[in-house]
């Protein structure tokens, strides 16, 4: 029972990580689109970041107990319970990627504005820097392997996500110090 409880908390942490990335993307997108919005919607962000993972982890735990209550739940003989976690994570990755593209589009429009000084080369350098900063902040690197089966790309996936995942943490600390 202890091993299963630890795995449930582990899966909750993984899912909450993806949904907090989504919250960061939503928050940044709302800041750029609605510049003078008096509402900050922090309660909604809390419900997205902690609530949605809670719902799906409870559902996963129940389906796991009913369909595949063997061992420590670290193997997946039936695909059903695993997809209860996998589909919401894929949805959060896809929505975050769409938000990322939208923010890049907004930044590009702002850089092309006649009010922004500088030549084309400096504007594209600023866009490139912004894009490189946003990639780990939004977790865009997760989209590379999101739709591949785990067994076919596992070795490359681990290396890729560990490298860019560490940049994600470092960028967040860097941004918080700048603000």
Which sequence spans correspond to the domains of the chain?
1-113+124-177
Degrees to nearest 5, angle at CA 165 with 107 and 145: 85
- How do the pLDDT tens digits run along the chain, 179 residues long? 888 899 999 999 989 988 998 998 888 888 877 766 666 678 888 999 999 999 999 999 998 888 887 878 777 777 778 888 889 998 998 898 898 888 888 878 877 766 655 566 666 676 677 776 677 667 776 766 665 655 555 666 666 666 666 555 555 555 555 54
DSSP secondary structure of 60-124 = HHHHHHHH---TTS---SSHHHHHHHHHHHHHHHHHHHHHHHHHHHHHHHHHTSTTS-S-HHHHH
Distance of alpha carbon 92 from alpha carbon 128, whole angstroms: 24
Are 110 and 116 a contacting pair, CB within 8 Å?
A: yes
- Give ∠ CA 79-143-109 in degrees, rounded to 5: 145
Residue with tokens 């209550």: 69
CATH architecture of 1-113+124-177: Up-down Bundle (1.20)
Determine the pLDDT at residue 74: 74
Q: 50-72 burial string, b = 16+ CB within 10 Å, else e?
A: eebbeebbeebbebbeeebeeee
């Amino acid at each position: 029972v202890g091993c299963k409880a630890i795995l449930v908390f582990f899966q909750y942490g993984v899912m909450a990580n993806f949904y907090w990335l989504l919250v960061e993307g939503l928050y940044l997108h709302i800041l750029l689109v609605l510049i003078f919005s008096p509402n900050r919607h922090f309660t909604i962000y809390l419900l997205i970041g902690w609530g949605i993972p809670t719902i799906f982890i409870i559902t996963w735990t129940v389906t796991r107990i009913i369909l595949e209550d063997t061992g420590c739940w670290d193997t997946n003989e039936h695909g059903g319970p695993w997809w209860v976690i996998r589909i919401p994570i894929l949805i959060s990755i896809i929505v975050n990627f769409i938000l990322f593209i939208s923010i890049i589009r907004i930044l590009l429009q702002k850089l092309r504005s006649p009010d922004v000084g500088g030549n084309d080369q400096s504007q594209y350098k600023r866009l490139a820097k912004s894009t490189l900063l946003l990639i780990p902040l939004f977790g865009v690197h997760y989209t590379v392997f999101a739709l591949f089966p785990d067994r076919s790309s596992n070795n490359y996936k681990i290396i890729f996500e560990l490298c860019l995942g560490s940049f994600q943490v470092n960028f967040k600390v860097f941004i918080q110090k700048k603000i």
